[in-house]
Amino acid sequence: MYTRGRPLVKARGFWRTLRSGGLYAKGLHEDRTCRDRAFGNADDRSACRGRCPVTRAIVVMGVSGAGKTTVGRALARRIGGTFVEGDDLHPASNREKMAAGIPLIDADRLPWLGAVAAAIRLHEGDALVISCSALRRRYRDIIRTGAARPVLFVWLKGTKDRIRALLAERKGHFMPVSLLESQFDALEPPDPDEPHLAVEIGAPVGVVVTKIVAGLRARPD
C-alpha cells in the first residue's frame, strides 16, 4: 500500500509511514524485506547501511553456557530475522574433541570461523542473528573480514559461577562443564574500536533481548 508514493507498513494495528531513513519499528526494521519495498532496489543498501539488522549481521558471542542460542533465537524473532546456530557449523572433529574435554586450538577453529563468515555472506540481505563464541579479537577479525557486510557482536557477559551453573543444567550438548575454564582463559572482551554491545545475563531472556534491542537502537552507526 502506498500514500503519496511512500510505502507503508502495518505495525501494532496502525499504518506507519516510511520515514526518510528507512522503515523502522522503534528504530529497527520490522520486516527483513523492507529494504526492497522501501527503496525499490534490492542492490541499494546505502540508505540504511549499518543502521538496522537488514544490513548489519548480529553475532551473539560469549563463552559456552552464556545463552547464545536461547538469546539469539529470541532476538531473531524480535527483529523478524533469521537465526543460525554457530555450533552446527563445527566440523565433526571439533565436536568430538570438545565432547572428550579437549579444548580446541586455533587450527581447529579456523575452518569453523570461516564457515561462520560464509553463513553471514549466504544470508546477505537478511536480518541475521548468528551464534558464535568469538572469544578472541583475531577470531572476530576473521568473521568481520569474511562477512562482506557490517557485523555487530553482542557479548553475553556473566560470572564464571553463574555460567557454570547454567552449563550444569544444560542437557544434550557436546560441550562439557570441564572446558569452561579454558573458555574464560581464551576470552578477550571486545575492544572499544570493535562494533559491539555488552549485555549482562541473568535476567529473563525477554529482558535480555529488550536490552539488546535498546542498545541497537541507541547506536549511532
Cα torsion angle, 189, 193, 196, 200, sign: positive
Helix (H, G, I), strand (E, B) or coil at 115: helix
Residue 173 has what pLDDT? Answer: 56
State the residue for C-alpha cell 565432547: 99
Rounded Cα distance between 113 and 108, Å, is 9
Does any domain span residue 52?
no
Q: Is residue 49 part of a domain?
A: no
Residues 217/27, Cβ–Cβ less than 8 Å: yes
The backbone torsions φ and ψ at residue 57, rounded to the nearest 5 degrees and listed phi first, read: -75, 145
Same domain, residue pair 9 and 113: no
If asked whether residues 11 and 66 sit together in one domain, one would say: no
Measured between alpha carbons, how far is 129 from 61 in angstroms, rounded to an integer?
11
User: What percent of the chain has a predicted confidence (pLDDT) above 90?
Assistant: 48
Domain interval for residue 15 = 2-39
- Return the CATH number at 90: 3.40.50.300
* Residues 132, 183: Cα–Cα separation, whole Å: 13
- Structural domain total, the chain: 2
Ranges of beta strands (E only) in 70-205 are 82-84, 128-131, 151-157, 196-200
Residues 103 and 174 in one domain: yes
Q: Residue 175 is placed in which grid cell? A: 560441550
Q: What is the pLDDT of residue 221?
A: 64
The model's pLDDT over 25-75, given as tens digits with 9 standing for 90+, comes to 333 444 344 433 322 333 433 334 444 545 689 999 999 888 899 999 999
The stretches in the chain having pLDDT less than 70 are: 1-55, 168, 170-178, 220-221
